């Protein structure tokens, strides 16, 4: 998609990655039930930015404080922050996040992905697109769109 | 007459021809012939000189050189046969030749050197020889010819040497020159009026400033030159009067290396005392040293300065006083005290440390110095301490006091006067609330206590009261640790007092939970002192739990203080007998009340003993023989508090009870960890007792320990003592073969251990035994009772033993054992599996996966394809352990799958998907990770099915499983999708 064109934000601010989650004793105990928590969702979202060889975490697109999960009520809410207010990739990033969560979470969850309020010029339009199930499904029918999404989701080893 | 003439003619012709061949023909070997001719008396040296005539007068310097060369070579061979007259002539000739062209010089010098070895050197000739050498030779190489002994030459030689050395720059020659100068000094040459000249000419090189060029072929280092020069300068008292001003001058310079070198030279200088009488020089030196320490720029210089001061002081202390001279030591110390003492009293204590260091350096030099300084300084220090209120000041003062305690020589007379005052400041510091002050106070207390005979009993008691209070109330761990160290030191020095005063109080507080903390602190100490303290607390009879706790602490300490000779001795002399005795006591007196506790207890000790593998060799042997005589003969004589019945039978059954049998693990600890070279006495008797016990005893810990001990001993046994061993094996086999035998489990344990140990032994005549063992093991897999045990036994066989048979315990372990075992036995296992009835198959699978799992990874990868079907079978049998070990075998293979595996994909995927709902979390994780790896295969047809199956673990109750599932599902989603794979 962005092949051959100029990058919109070639030199972004890079943020420190949070370390690996520390494994606790209760996580190793067979009998304890570990609820799905914010950090777990956040770890799932360590996916690549379509424009940069950097993860969304490093670009501060996704932050742990903007991930909200309620295991009991089966809801997940993720707010993401495009690197610049006019980022044309915002929809694509949102779509990638959504797809990643759909693939990684049990069916019972209702997944809500939207832009952090006040961080993007066409915030409302993008949010509307991401919330529309049919439009998401249709987008994933589009082979070239799916290709970009998959590229974001494949674990790159750079 | 004519015949005489003929002979003459013949001789000179012979000499002539030899000369011709050597000089013009350039045949070096002719020199040897000529020398032989002279030796055999065919012609004389003078005849040779005549024959050389033409070559020596040739106009070509090279021909002349060649001629002299021949003569010198001959002289080197036969200088012993020359008459005095001949020598005289030759010397005159050579001296003359010295004036010749420079190419002639080397052979001339060589000839002169040969001549100096002559026994009948005419008197005075050496002098004239050297004089001409010094006169005429300008090449510095001449120095190397000066090494002969020529006392007669005396001052002349020194002068010549001084002249020749003057201005020398080549480090090789310098090194040589320094050595010669040293020989001159030590050889008792009369330096005469040239003393100062010699000093001047050598000292101008001080301090040596030389850095060898890179790739220096001569390999002369600065250090060599420094040492050589220092040896010269400090070699004689005669130099001292010149050296001191020089040193002071260099000390006052700005060059670091010059300062350091001067100070080190000062330390080395043992003959300074002579001229230290000169008050002026002393003041100068002191001023310089003080400046270096006060304005220290590098630690090296500071410590060199302090060492120099100590050397000076001890030198002064040794100097003999004449009745009219003043006491130079006290004069010198007066300087020091005058300059330093007031710093100790300054309000901000800025220069306290440097002053204290200087004073201590002087203090440590001699008893007299200690006395003078301590008497002058200590009262003011003590007064300071009492006047100060700031904790940091007080701490500094305490530290200074401690340093004095350490540096004082012959403390008894010196410190005794201050005992009371010292104790009182230490105790007052201990009662402060400042933790660093308390820590310092404990270490001062330790130093005081270590000065034997200084503290009296009441002081120690008071100290112990303070320590107890701190131990029980102090919250700060650092303070507690310091207190424990100190108490440990006291326990070592005054064990009786510590046991009567400290331990009972601690015991009273035991149940408050504080003791746990103390024990924890105890076990963090590394010093032997904490061992002693721990020990004292152990030797008062506490409850079982308490002793176990102490043993743990001891064990931890033992692990930490490894390799220390002191600790090894202390363990050997004190603790091991005590432990054995305590263990015995416990068993004799209390019996079955605490059976479980005792098992733990005994085991704990066994491991503790095992840690003693580092015991020094000699002690190790002693421990072994003691332990053996205790266990075999009931010899209790080496145990303390000896109240045991003699001739206890520790390895025999007493009636029905095996009550004492558990102690065998102590035996195991004592003998199995010894180095191989330590001979265990009565080994055959011991082995048969152990065999009996391991086959007949009913207590699991006992028979396992006995079997382990047996195996450990056999492993160390030298070759060729295996008759009894073969008997044992056949006995075990027969026990196992009779299904009605009640001791099959025991026999099996013994066998497994025996097999284990023999895995390391190669002797060919044992092969039948071994294969018998292996066969037995295989046949046991079919056994109804022992089958699962046998399968687990394979895991034991393949793994490293933690307690007895490992390298740390000096066991003989064969390399590549696992691969060998696998290649010998895998086929048999597969066969057995195919032949076995359905309900026995799991045993085989378990055995197989136990073996494969312990193989090195690279071997696994190559061996697996053959076993694949069996492993797949293993995945569908009900045992979780098998699942896990099989999955861990499979995973590395899946990264680079063999063709066989591709053909079995369907079966593999089905089994893996079944395992993701296994009750065991680790199995779920392992199977998910295998599935994730599988996505790299041609598995597109399975995509939908796998994705559906993977939805379920996404909601697993364990986070670790979910993480693996998310990873696996993500990979499979990408499969066959645009942008994916």
* Predicted pLDDT at A24: 77
Name which of B821, B841, B839 is nearest B831 in CA terms: B841
Q: Do B978 and A43 touch (CB under 8 A)?
A: no
CA distance B270 to B310: 12
A43: in domain: yes
Set of chain B residues whose Cβ sits within 8 Å of the Cβ of A150: 973-974, 977-980
Residue from B954, B961, B971, B979 whose CB has the most chain A CBs within 10 Å, to mutate: B979
* Predicted pLDDT at B576: 59
Digit-coded pLDDT (tens) for B358-373: 888 877 777 778 888 8
Mean predicted lDDT score pLDDT of chain B: 68
Set of chain A residues whose Cβ sits within 8 Å of the Cβ of B966: 44, 104
Instruction: Please give the ipTM for the structure prediction.
Output: 0.88
Mean pLDDT of B663-678: 60
A16: in domain: no
Chain A 6-45, residues with CB within 8 Å of chain B CB atoms: 23, 27-28, 30, 32-34, 36, 40, 43-44
Set of chain B residues whose Cβ sits within 8 Å of the Cβ of A105: 954
Q: Is this model's pTM higher than 0.95 or not?
A: no
Q: Do A30 and B920 touch (CB under 8 A)?
A: yes
Set of chain B residues whose Cβ sits within 8 Å of the Cβ of A20: none
- Per-residue confidence band for B774, with pLDDT thresholds at 50, 70 and 90: low
Closest-CA distance, A106 to chain B, in angstroms, reads 6
* Eight-state DSSP code of residue B142: G
Mean pLDDT of B274-291: 68
* Predicted pLDDT at B703: 66
Chain A: residue whose CA lies nearest to B951: A106
Task: Count interface pairs A-B at CB distance under 8 A.
Answer: 63
A20: in domain: no
Mean pLDDT of B475-487: 75
The number of domains in chain A is 1
Q: Domain span at residue A137?
A: 34-153
Q: Do A146 and B979 touch (CB under 8 A)?
A: yes
Q: Is the pLDDT of residue B813 over 60?
A: no
Set of chain B residues whose Cβ sits within 8 Å of the Cβ of A40: 959, 962-963
A95: in domain: yes
* Predicted pLDDT at B463: 83
Report percent pLDDT > 70 for chain B: 51
Digit-coded pLDDT (tens) for B560-579: 555 555 555 555 555 555 55
Compare CB distances from B969 to A34, A36, A104 and report the shortest one's residue: A104
Chain A: residue whose CA lies nearest to B921: A30
Per the CB < 8 A criterion, the answer to whether B621 and B814 are in contact is: no
Q: Is the dihedral of CA B894, B898, B903, B907 positive or negative?
A: negative
Identify the weakest region by mean pLDDT among B710-724, B868-882, B886-900. B710-724
- Per-residue confidence band for B247, with pLDDT thresholds at 50, 70 and 90: confident
Compare CB distances from A106 to B951, B958, B977 and report the shortest one's residue: B951
Write out the residues of chain B at the interface with chain A, using a CB-CB cutoff of 8 A: 919-921, 951, 954-955, 957-960, 962-963, 966, 969-970, 973-974, 977-981
Mean pLDDT of B883-912: 79
Mean pLDDT of B610-635: 54
Digit-coded pLDDT (tens) for B310-357: 777 777 777 666 555 667 777 778 878 887 777 777 766 667 777 888
* Predicted pLDDT at B599: 44
* Predicted pLDDT at B451: 76
Chain B: residue whose CA lies nearest to A108: B955
A29: in domain: no
Set of chain B residues whose Cβ sits within 8 Å of the Cβ of A100: 970
CA distance B278 to B257: 27
Q: Do B973 and A153 touch (CB under 8 A)?
A: yes
A90: in domain: yes
What is the SS3 assignment for B657? strand
- Per-residue confidence band for B381, with pLDDT thresholds at 50, 70 and 90: confident
The residues, any chain, with a CB within 8 Å of residue A153's CB and separated by 6 or more, are: A47, A48, A96, A99, A100, A103, B970, B973, B974
Which carries the bigger pLDDT value, residue B616 or residue B714? B714
Q: Is the pLDDT of residue B600 over 50?
A: no
Chain A: residue whose CA lies nearest to B960: A27
- B657-660, Cβ contacts within 8 angstroms, sequence gap of 24 or more: B658/B697, B658/B698, B658/B699, B658/B702, B659/B587, B659/B591, B659/B592, B660/B587
Mean pLDDT of B293-302: 75
Digit-coded pLDDT (tens) for A55-80: 777 777 888 888 889 888 889 999 99
* Predicted pLDDT at B581: 58
Closest-CA distance, B914 to chain A, in angstroms, reads 19
What is the SS3 assignment for B556? helix
A21: in domain: no
Residue from A144, A153, A156, A157 whose CB has the most chain B CBs within 10 Å, to mutate: A153
Q: Is the pLDDT of residue B654 over 50?
A: no
* Element housing A78 (H / E): strand A75-80
A67: in domain: yes
Q: Is the pLDDT of residue B402 over 60?
A: yes
Set of chain A residues whose Cβ sits within 8 Å of the Cβ of B970: 100, 103-104, 153, 155
Chain A: residue whose CA lies nearest to B925: A28
Mean pLDDT of B225-254: 74
Q: Which of A55-59, B600-604, B858-862, B963-967 reaches the highest mean pLDDT?
A: B963-967
Q: Is the pLDDT of residue B143 over 60?
A: no
Q: Is the pLDDT of residue B523 over 60?
A: no
3-state percent helix, strand, coil for chain A, nearest multiple of 5: 35, 15, 50
CATH number at A119 reads 3.30.300.130
* Eight-state DSSP code of residue B569: H
């Amino acid at each position: 998609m962005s092949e051959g064109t100029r990058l919109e934000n070639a030199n972004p601010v890079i943020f420190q990655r949070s370390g690996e989650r520390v494994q606790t004793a209760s996580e190793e105990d067979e009998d304890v039930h570990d609820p799905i928590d914010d950090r777990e969702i956040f770890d799932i979202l360590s996916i690549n930015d379509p424009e940069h060889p950097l993860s969304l975490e490093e670009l501060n697109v996704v932050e742990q404080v903007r991930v909200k999960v309620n295991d009991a009520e089966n809801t997940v809410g993720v707010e993401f922050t495009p690197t610049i207010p006019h980022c044309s990739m915002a929809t694509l990033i949102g779509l990638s996040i959504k797809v990643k969560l759909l693939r990684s979470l049990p069916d019972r969850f209702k997944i809500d992905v939207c832009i952090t309020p006040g961080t993007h010029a066409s915030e409302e339009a993008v949010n509307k697109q991401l919330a529309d199930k049919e439009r998401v499904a249709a987008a994933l029918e589009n082979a070239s769109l799916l290709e970009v999404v998959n590229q974001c989701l494949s674990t790159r080893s750079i | 007459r004519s015949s005489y003439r003929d002979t003459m003619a013949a001789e000179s012709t012979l000499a002539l021809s030899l000369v011709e061949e050597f000089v013009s023909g350039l045949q070096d070997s002719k020199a040897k012939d000529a020398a032989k001719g002279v030796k055999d008396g065919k012609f004389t040296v003078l005849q040779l000189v005549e024959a050389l005539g033409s070559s020596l007068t040739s106009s070509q310097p090279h021909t002349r050189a060649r001629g002299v060369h021949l003569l010198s070579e001959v002289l080197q061979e036969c200088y012993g046969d020359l008459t005095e007259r001949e020598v005289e002539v030759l010397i005159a000739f050579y001296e003359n030749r010295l004036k010749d062209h420079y190419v002639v010089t080397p052979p001339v010098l060589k000839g002169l050197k040969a001549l100096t070895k002559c026994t009948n050197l005419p008197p005075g000739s050496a002098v004239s020889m050297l004089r001409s050498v010094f006169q005429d030779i300008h090449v510095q190489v001449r120095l190397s010819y000066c090494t002969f002994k020529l006392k007669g030459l005396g001052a002349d030689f020194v002068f010549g040497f001084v002249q020749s050395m003057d201005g020398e720059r080549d480090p090789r020659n310098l090194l040589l020159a320094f050595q010669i100068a040293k020989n001159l000094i030590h050889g008792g040459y009369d330096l005469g009026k040239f003393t100062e000249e010699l000093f001047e000419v050598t000292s101008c090189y001080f301090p040596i400033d030389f850095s060898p060029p890179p790739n220096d072929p001569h390999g002369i280092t600065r250090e060599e030159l420094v040492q050589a020069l220092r040896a010269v300068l400090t070699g004689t008292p005669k130099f001292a009067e010149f050296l001191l001003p020089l040193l002071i001058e260099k000390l006052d310079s700005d060059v670091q290396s010059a300062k350091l070198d001067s100070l080190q030279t000062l330390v080395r200088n043992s003959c300074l005392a002579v001229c230290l009488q000169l008050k002026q020089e002393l003041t100068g030196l002191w001023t310089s040293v003080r400046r270096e320490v006060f304005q220290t720029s590098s630690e090296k210089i500071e410590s060199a300065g302090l060492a120099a001061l100590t050397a000076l002081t001890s030198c002064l202390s040794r100097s003999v006083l004449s009745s009219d001279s003043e006491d130079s030591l006290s004069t010198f110390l007066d300087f020091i005290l005058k300059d330093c003492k007031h710093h100790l009293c300054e309000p901000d204590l800025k220069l306290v440390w440097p002053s204290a260091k200087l004073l201590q350096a002087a203090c440590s030099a001699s008893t007299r110095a200690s006395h003078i300084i301590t008497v002058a300084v200590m009262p003011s220090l003590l007064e300071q301490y009492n006047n100060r209120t700031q904790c940091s000041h007080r701490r500094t003062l305490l530290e200074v006091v401690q340093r004095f305690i350490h540096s004082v020589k012959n403390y008894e007379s010196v410190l005794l006067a201050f005992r009371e005052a010292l104790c009182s400041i230490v105790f007052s510091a201990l009662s402060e609330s400042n933790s660093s002050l308390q820590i310092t106070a404990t270490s001062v207390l330790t130093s005081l206590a270590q000065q034997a005979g200084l503290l009296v009993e009441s002081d120690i008691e008071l100290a112990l009261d303070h320590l107890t209070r701190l131990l029980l109330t102090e919250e700060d761990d650092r303070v507690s640790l310091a207190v424990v160290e100190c108490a440990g030191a006291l326990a070592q020095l005054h064990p009786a007092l510590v046991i009567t005063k400290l331990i009972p109080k601690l015991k009273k507080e035991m149940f408050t939970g504080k003791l746990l903390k103390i024990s924890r602190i105890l076990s963090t100490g590394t010093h032997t002192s904490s061992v002693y303290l721990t020990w004292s607390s152990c030797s008062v009879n506490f409850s079982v739990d308490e002793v176990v706790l102490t043993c743990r602490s001891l064990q931890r300490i033992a692990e930490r203080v490894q390799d220390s000779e002191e600790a090894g001795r202390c363990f050997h002399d004190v603790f091991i007998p005590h432990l054995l005795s305590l263990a015995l006591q416990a068993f004799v007196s209390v019996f079955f009340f605490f059976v479980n506790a005792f098992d733990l207890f005994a085991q704990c000790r066994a491991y503790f003993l095992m840690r003693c593998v580092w015991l020094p060799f000699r002690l190790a042997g002693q421990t072994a023989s003691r332990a053996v005589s205790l266990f075999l003969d009931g010899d209790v004589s080496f145990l303390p508090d000896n109240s045991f019945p003699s001739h206890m039978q520790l390895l025999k059954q007493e009636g029905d009870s095996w009550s004492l049998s558990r102690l065998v693990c102590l035996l195991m600890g004592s003998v199995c960890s010894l180095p191989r070279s330590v001979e265990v006495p009565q080994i055959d008797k011991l082995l048969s007792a152990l065999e009996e016990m391991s086959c007949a005893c009913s207590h699991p810990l006992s028979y396992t320990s006995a079997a382990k001990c047996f195996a450990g001993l056999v492993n160390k046994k030298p070759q060729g003592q295996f008759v009894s061993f073969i008997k044992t094996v056949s006995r075990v086999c027969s026990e196992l073969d009779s299904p009605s035998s009640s001791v099959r489990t025991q026999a099996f344990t013994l066998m497994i251990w025996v097999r284990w140990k023999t895995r390391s032994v190669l002797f060919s005549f044992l092969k039948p035994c071994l294969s018998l063992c292996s066969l037995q093991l295989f046949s046991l897999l079919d056994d109804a009772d022992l089958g699962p045990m046998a399968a687990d036994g394979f895991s034991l066989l393949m793994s490293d033993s933690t307690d007895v048979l490992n390298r740390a315990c000096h066991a003989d372990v064969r390399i590549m054992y696992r691969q060998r075992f696998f290649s010998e036995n895998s086929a048999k296992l597969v066969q057995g599996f195919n032949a076995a009835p359905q309900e026995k198959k799991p045993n085989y699978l378990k055995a197989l996966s136990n073996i494969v799992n312990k193989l090195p990874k690279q071997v696994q990868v190559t061996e697996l394809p053959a076993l694949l079907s069996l492993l797949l079978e293993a995945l569908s049998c009900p045992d979780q352990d098998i699942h896990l070990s099989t999955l861990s075998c499979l995973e590395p293979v899946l990264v680079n799958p063999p063709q066989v595996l591709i053909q079995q994909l369907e079966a593999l995927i089905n089994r893996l998907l079944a395992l993701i709902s296994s009750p065991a979390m680790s199995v779920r994780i392992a199977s998910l990770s295998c599935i994730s790896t599988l996505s790299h295969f041609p598995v597109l047809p399975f995509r939908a099915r796998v994705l559906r199956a993977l939805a379920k673990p996404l909601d697993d109750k364990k986070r670790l499983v979910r993480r693996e599932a998310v990873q696996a599902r993500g990979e499979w989603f990408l499969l066959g999708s645009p942008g994916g794979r």
